[in-house]
Amino acid sequence: MDAASTRRAGLSREKVLRAALGLVDRDGVEKLSMRRLGAELGVEAMTLYHYVPNKAALLDGLVELVVGSVRPDPDGPAEAWPQRLREFATAFRTELLRHPGVIVLVATRPARSARALQIVEDTAAALGRAGIGPVDALRMVNSVATLVIGQCLAEAAATPGHPDEPADLDLSALPTLAAAVAGGLGTPEDHQARFDLALDALLTGLRR
What is the number of helices (H) and of strands (E) in the chain?
10, 0
Predicted confidence (pLDDT) per residue in 171-183, tens digit: 888 889 889 888 8
Q: For residue 113, which of 153, 152, 69 has the smallest C-alpha distance? A: 69
The predicted pLDDT at position 50 comes to: 93
Q: 102 with 24: CB under 8 angstroms?
A: yes
Task: Examine the pLDDT at 25 and tell me if it is beyond 90.
Answer: yes
**CA-to-CA dists, residue 185 to 5, 69, 122, 157, 178, angstroms:** 54, 30, 35, 15, 9
pTM: 0.84
Predicted confidence (pLDDT) per residue in 92-128, tens digit: 999 999 999 999 999 999 888 888 888 889 889 989 9
User: Which run of H or of E encompasses 89?
Assistant: helix 81-98
> Bigger pLDDT: 201 or 74?
201
